[in-house]
Amino acid sequence: MKADLVVIDLKDVAWQPLNSVARQLVFSESGRGVETTIVDGEIVMFERRMVTIDEEALGDELASLMPTFRRDFANVAEVNRRAIPYLLAANERLKSHDVGINRFVAL
């Protein structure tokens, strides 16, 4: 039968001490504890290594794309930088209007 399955290392810090599997899976597991993953009956990760892609080739491809990405990102950041004074002014105007909500909780 084809299946989807994730094998998690319960020795990972997210699982220590083990109290509630459901709670720790939802609130603590970041992916760091995943050892093996099976999707549709095919092993895609084994012993924390992807087996369906060449991770080194992917890293090389990403490294070759980064100079272009950094240049494009710098251009976008510069355009956005010009908008900051206007956004801050709009934020100040919005803060001056009481909307009747108190978000502070006193202990």
How many other C-beta atoms are found inside a 10 Å radius of the C-beta of residue 40?
8
Residue pair 36/46 in contact by the 8 Å Cβ criterion: yes
**88 exposed, middle or buried (CB, 10 Å; 0-12, 13-18, 19+)?**
exposed
pLDDT tens sequence across 44-95: 999 999 999 998 999 999 999 999 999 999 999 999 999 999 999 999 998 8
pLDDT tens sequence across 24-36: 999 999 999 999 9
Residue pair 22/32 in contact by the 8 Å Cβ criterion: no
For the chain, the straight-line distance linking the first and the last C-alpha, in angstroms and rounded, comes to 54
Helix (DSSP H) and strand (DSSP E) numbers for the chain: 2, 4
